[in-house]
A = this chain, B = another copy of it.
Amino acid sequence: MNGADALLATLVANGVTACFANPGTSEMQFVAALDRQPDMRPVLCLFEGVATGAADGYGRMADRPACTLLHLGPGYANGAANLHNARRAHTPIVNVIGDHATYHRHYDAPLTSDIAALARPNSLWVKSADSPDTVAGLAAEAVAASFGPPGGPVSLILPADSAWLETGSGPVIAQKPMRPTPSGEAVDAAARAIRAATRPVVLLGGQACRAEGLAQAARLSLVGVRVMTDTFVARQPRGAGVFPAAKMPYFGELALQELAGADLMVYAGTTQPVAFFAYPDRPSVLLPEGCTALTLAGRAEDAVAGLAALADALGAPREGPTQVLALPDAPAGRLTAYAVGASIARHMPEGAIVCDDMVTSGTGVTANTGGARPHEVLALTGGAIGIGLPLAVGAAVACPDRKVLALSGDGSAMYTIQALWTLARENLDVTVVIFANNSYRILNVEMTRTGAGDAGPQAARLLGLGEPDIDWVSLAKGLGVAAVRCATAEAFDKAFEGAMAQRGPMLIAAAI
């Protein structure tokens, strides 16, 4: 076997069985080795940002890494924005980045660049396998490192000669690291502080927002604790049967309004809440004056165990409240984000996976989906828009029996629109909803907030997506996905109901 075979054998032996790829010449040995390793599923993406976003969606749903296959520095860089999001989501991902043969690097051929330097800011771990005999061991190390805790993308650089040369090394098994349990002292301190506080808040993030964490946090809500979650959570169950924790508002002044009077904030799986952006004369830290903060469980710790122990210590009942099923009426009239949300709530099947890149449309949709059938939401954790469709690719590969929704702003979707082609190629069961307002609408809001005033004619050209309006139906058809445009709530409701009743990719442009 050659180095590429050793790599694939190790990845598969460690449960890495999906590869989101956009290969080039330096990756041809890896590509060829795929034919000798049928347990690895290769998924071609026509742009690397789709591959990395898909690996993020896959990792969030599978709780194990997919690998990406990327072409030297530029291929990695094309995927870096969605790896930034994955780093913030703490999603395990193993990037395999092809490189020139070791002896060719110093000639500074056109594609040469400092791959490790490019990869480092968004990788927990970066190493180069500079001989074929090191490939398997480093691949196992990479998988282990991707789990953190709390996990994230790692980058294994694979020089072409390390892939093509023979090696005797077999697959190496990685040890998956455990999350340490919070100490008894931390639990006791939190319990004491909560008992002493007038208006205590527990803020959940990361792993604490998964089903088990929410179930424990729900118990706390019965003993006088306000439970909130981070604004952007990698994966969170929602809808009927799930504890409906409040979300920290995106805008800092709204968050502080929500938190008014809170005198204690306990962190479980997260850290101090901060404003997404700074604005003149507005605070960066979202803790009210005089509010004490303490950590029950950091991001790397077992927040679920911490929450359970805290609930026990506070004598909370064994079970907390959950959301009841409450489906909205059929929407009518003008199509708005609220109307879209109503339709989604009405028709989305149990177990649906919602990939949220909605930006300004999120508020309206989310307001109407809280009582829907149980589903899970994957949010934009790092602020780099263009993740909704790629996340859906990966979630659908990880969970072929669940309906996946990609809900995306029009501006967001355009960053990684190539994802539509992969949906078609793999016939993934994904319904894409594009909120077509022909605008980077969030920026119109933000422009005022930053004190920059209203947009004049030059500025307006950078905030609007019209002239020309994007024809989403043609665009989707061009990439092999059936599509329809809806301009009324009734039309959207019908189209969305139809999409839920069929399998395979479909796009609905919601002209809001």
Contact = CB atoms under 8 A, between A and B. Distances in A.
Interface of A: 21, 23-26, 28-29, 31-32, 34-35, 38, 40, 42, 44, 46-47, 49, 72-75, 77-78, 80-81, 84-85, 88, 100-101, 103-104, 107-111, 113-114, 117-118, 120-122, 160-161, 164, 232, 272, 274-278, 280, 284-285, 381-384, 386, 411, 414-415, 417-418, 421, 424-425, 442-443, 446-447, 449-453, 455-459, 461-463, 465, 467-480
B121 A74 contact: no
A265 to B, nearest CB: 15
A31 B452 contact: yes
A-B interface, 10 closest residue pairs, ranked by CB to CB distance from nearest = A475-B478, A35-B456, A468-B480, A74-B384, A77-B80, A32-B452, A474-B478, A104-B278, A101-B278, A74-B81
A60 to B, nearest CB: 16
A232 B32 contact: no
Given A84-B73, A284-B104, A447-B31, A42 B110 contact: no
8 contacts: A31-B462, A32-B459, A34-B458, A35-B457, A46-B411, A46-B414, A111-B382, A164-B450
Contacts of A458: 34-35, 38, 40, 42
A349 to B, nearest CB: 26
A121 B121 contact: no
A32 B424 contact: no
Nearest to A477: B474
B44 A462 contact: yes
A476 B461 CA distance: 21
A469 to B, nearest CB: 8
Nearest to A40: B458
Nearest to A107: B274
Contact of A121 (B49, B118, B459): B118
B44 A461 contact: yes
A280 B278 CA distance: 53
Contact of A462 (B23, B411, B450, B478): B23
A415 B46 CA distance: 7
B84 A77 contact: yes
A491 to B, nearest CB: 20
B117 A384 contact: no
B35 A103 contact: no
A46 B475 CA distance: 14
B73 A77 contact: no
Given A46-B465, A81-B78, A113 B122 contact: yes
Contacts of A480: 468-471
A417 B417 contact: yes
Interface centre among A21, A26, A47, by most chain B C-beta atoms within 10 angstroms, is: A47
A103 B284 contact: yes
A418 B417 contact: yes
Contacts of A472: 478
Contact of A84 (B113, B117, B442, B467): B113
B104 A277 contact: yes
B121 A73 contact: yes
A405 B29 CA distance: 35
A378 to B, nearest CB: 15
Nearest to A115: B121
A38 B100 CA distance: 46
Given A35-B455, A35-B456, A84-B77, A384 B164 contact: no
A42 B462 contact: yes
A475 B470 contact: no
Contacts of A103: 278, 284
A270 to B, nearest CB: 12
Contact of A471 (B232, B417, B457, B478): B478
A417 B478 CA distance: 12
A183 B32 CA distance: 51
Given A47-B386, A111-B277, 20 more contacts: A34-B456, A34-B458, A44-B462, A77-B122, A78-B78, A78-B80, A78-B415, A80-B118, A101-B278, A107-B272, A107-B285, A110-B232, A110-B381, A113-B121, A118-B121, A425-B468, A470-B480, A474-B474, A476-B478, A477-B478
Nearest to A457: B35
Contacts of A275: 104, 107, 109
Contact of A109 (B35, B74, B274, B476): B274
Contact of A468 (B110, B274, B382, B421): B421
